């Protein structure tokens, strides 16, 4: 019987063969397969300002990548891995693969088609997309490009409660299936490269499509953003920073939506327990790709203790540092049910638009499928802490 939700049992093999066969016709993949080379090529393509913004901060990002290196997979042999199951369900949502596109704002600085190109690639690969509040295209336009592909909406909780409620209402109407509240960006961090470049895309009006199109936002202005963009941007900066937000206020969201609510940016087990106590539906362990707290714990290092504290009481997702199939496998083994992919799809977008995003997704899923099989597992549900050893580097 064919399981509609599973990707082809030989997705990895099929993709690998497709690439080798094209090679026989003298064609090499145009997009770099190695994530490091992909990043390097994308950086060469982008302006100094855009690549600096995309990179964010170095220190915590490096820690994220190093944490993955410390965990090693211990492969098991001869366990019939001819059929592989990569699907999972989160609350009532069936995910064909344990991967979603992380919310990444202001994609117009990367590619002119921005979130629309990403949405089309999400649609063709059937990978769910989480759209940022700070997107360059409106959530309605992106929903149209996604068609029937699953989508969640990431909410930046501004100081204007009516605007927050309006965003959630619009997301519901446009078919978004969950709200992801990002907790770690109530202020913007000290980003050395952006400060050196004196660059913040929002001040140029980029990434504000959802704000400028919102009736509540527009009502707060004397003139519409099209007539007076400077005042509109100033109003955005007035309400965006919201460091006084507390756990108590999350109840407001519960009253305004029946959608599941995920909290993104959890790094401490006690905060995970708080999320459960106040009735949230899911948690995303993340340090925002190392972009917010310099010197922060690597997100992967935070995962095991949070998984233990949560004890499967609610879905646990993970991001920050996923670069290849083995990284996904490691995060799942340490307790995540699914992961979010961040910068790698943006590097694909920078180089080849929609096609680039699609290629990055197909590659990482092929890599995951093959790594799962070669490690001796026929289903992601079999992964657990016994899949890995923690190998500290020898100095």
Ligand X SMILES: Cc1cc2nc3c(=O)[nH]c(=O)nc-3n(C[C@H](O)[C@H](O)[C@H](O)COP(=O)(O)O)c2cc1C
Binding-site positions for FMN read: 103-105, 154, 182, 264, 286, 319-323, 342-343
Question: Which 92-151 positions form the footprint of ligand X (CB under 6 A)?
Answer: 102-105, 132, 134
Among residues 170, 191, 264, 330, the one that binds ligand X under rule CB under 6 A:
264
Query: In the complex, which residue's CB is closest to ligand X?
Result: 342
Known binding-site residues equal 53, 103-105, 132, 154, 156, 182, 191, 264, 286, 288, 291, 319-323, 342-343
What contacts 147, CB < 8 A, 6 or more positions away? 123
- Rounded CA separation 339/2 (Å): 25
Q: For residue 138, what are its two tokens? A: 């409106």
Helix spans in the chain (H): 11-24, 35-45, 48-55, 59-70, 114-125, 139-146, 161-173, 192-196, 209-212, 215-219, 229-240, 250-256, 269-277, 299-310, 325-333, 343-374
3-state secondary structure at position 235? helix
Smaller CB separation from ligand 7N5, 199 or 318: 199
Known binding-site residues for glyoxylate equal 53, 132, 156, 191, 288, 291
- Rounded CA separation 75/294 (Å): 35
> Nearest 5°: phi and psi at 182?
-90, 120
Question: Which 187-246 positions form the footprint of ligand 7N5 (CB under 6 A)?
Answer: 188, 202
Smaller CB separation from ligand X, 123 or 288: 288
Q: Are 328 and 339 in contact (CB under 8 A)?
A: yes
Among residues 11, 120, 264, 291, the one that binds ligand 7N5 under rule CB under 6 A:
291
Residue 79 C-beta: closest distance to ligand X, Å: 30
Q: What angle do CA 261, 85, 131 make, to 5 degrees?
A: 30
Among residues 9, 96, 105, 265, the one that binds ligand 7N5 under rule CB under 6 A:
105
Smaller CB separation from ligand X, 129 or 373: 129
Q: Are 283 and 315 in contact (CB under 8 A)?
A: yes
Instruction: Of 50, 148, 158, give the one whose Cα is nearest residue 104.
Output: 50
- Rounded CA separation 151/176 (Å): 5
Smaller CB separation from ligand 7N5, 200 or 216: 200
Smaller CB separation from ligand 7N5, 108 or 185: 185
Q: For residue 90, what are its two tokens? A: 């989160």
202, interface contact from ligand X, ligand 7N5, none, CB < 5-8 Å by kind? ligand 7N5
What contacts 395, CB < 8 A, 6 or more positions away? none
- Rounded CA separation 105/133 (Å): 7
Residue 196 C-beta: closest distance to ligand 7N5, Å: 16
123 is catalytic: no
- Residue 343 touching ligand X (CB under 6 A): yes
- Rounded CA separation 29/254 (Å): 47
- Residue 322 touching ligand X (CB under 6 A): yes
Residue 263 C-beta: closest distance to ligand 7N5, Å: 15
Instruction: Of 175, 131, 192, give the one whose Cα is nearest residue 156.
Output: 131
Smaller CB separation from ligand X, 84 or 288: 288
Residue 64 C-beta: closest distance to ligand X, Å: 6
Among residues 205, 282, 342, 356, the one that binds ligand X under rule CB under 6 A:
342
Catalytic, out of 111, 256, 288, 395: 288
Smaller CB separation from ligand X, 347 or 377: 347
- Residue 286 touching ligand X (CB under 6 A): yes
Q: Are 250 and 280 in contact (CB under 8 A)?
A: yes
* Count of residues touching ligand X (by CB under 6 A): 23
3-state secondary structure at position 294? coil
* Count of residues touching ligand 7N5 (by CB under 6 A): 7
Residue 238 C-beta: closest distance to ligand X, Å: 18
Number of neighbours of residue 348 by Cβ within 10 angstroms: 29
Among residues 42, 134, 145, 181, the one that binds ligand 7N5 under rule CB under 6 A:
134
359, interface contact from ligand X, ligand 7N5, none, CB < 5-8 Å by kind? none
Active-site residues, by number, are 288
* Binding interface with ligand X (CB under 6 A): 53-54, 56, 102-105, 132, 134, 154, 182, 264, 286, 288-289, 291, 319-322, 341-343
* Binding interface with ligand 7N5 (CB under 6 A): 105, 134, 185, 188, 202, 288, 291
């Amino acid at each position: 019987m064919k399981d509609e939700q599973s990707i082809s049992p030989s997705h990895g093999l099929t993709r690998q063969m497709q690439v080798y066969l094209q090679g026989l016709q003298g064609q090499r993949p145009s997009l770099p397969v190695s994530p490091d080379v992909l990043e390097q090529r994308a950086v060469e393509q982008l302006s100094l300002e855009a690549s600096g913004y995309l990179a964010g901060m170095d220190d915590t990002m490096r820690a994220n990548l190093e944490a993955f290196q410390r965990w090693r997979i211990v492969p098991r042999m001869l366990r019939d891995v001819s059929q592989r199951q990569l699907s999972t369900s989160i609350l009532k949502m069936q995910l064909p693969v344990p991967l979603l596109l992380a919310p990444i704002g202001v994609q117009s600085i990367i590619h002119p088609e921005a979130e629309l190109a990403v949405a089309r690639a999400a649609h063709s690969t059937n990978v769910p997309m989480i759209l940022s509040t700070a997107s360059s295209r409106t959530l309605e336009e992106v929903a149209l490009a996604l068609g029937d592909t699953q989508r969640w909406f990431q909410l930046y909780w501004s100081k204007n409660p009516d605007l927050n409620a309006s965003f959630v209402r619009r997301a519901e109407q446009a078919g978004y299936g969950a709200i992801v509240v990002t907790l770690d960006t109530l202020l913007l961090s000290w980003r050395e490269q952006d400060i050196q470049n004196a660059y913040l895309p929002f001040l140029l009006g980029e990434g504000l499509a959802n704000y400028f199109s919102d009736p509540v936002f527009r009502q707060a202005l004397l003139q519409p953003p099209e007539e007076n963009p400077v005042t509109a941007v100033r109003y955005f900066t007035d309400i965006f920073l919201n460091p006084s937000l507390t756990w108590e206020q999350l109840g407001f969201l519960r009253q305004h939506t029946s959608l599941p609510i995920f909290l993104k940016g959890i790094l401490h087990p006690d905060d995970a327990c708080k999320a459960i106590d106040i009735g949230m539906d899911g948690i995303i362990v993340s340090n925002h790709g190392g972009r917010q707290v310099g010197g922060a714990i690597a997100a992967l290092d935070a995962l095991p203790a949070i998984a233990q504290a949560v004890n499967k009481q609610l879905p646990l997702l993970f991001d920050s540092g996923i670069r290849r199939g083995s990284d996904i496998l490691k995060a799942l083994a340490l307790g995540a049910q699914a992961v979010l992919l961040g910068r790698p799809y943006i590097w694909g977008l920078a180089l080849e638009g929609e096609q680039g995003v699609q290629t990055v997704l197909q590659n990482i899923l092929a890599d995951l499928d093959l790594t799962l099989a070669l490690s001796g597992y026929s289903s992601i549900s079999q992964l657990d802490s016994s899949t890995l050893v923690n190998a500290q580097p020898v100095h």
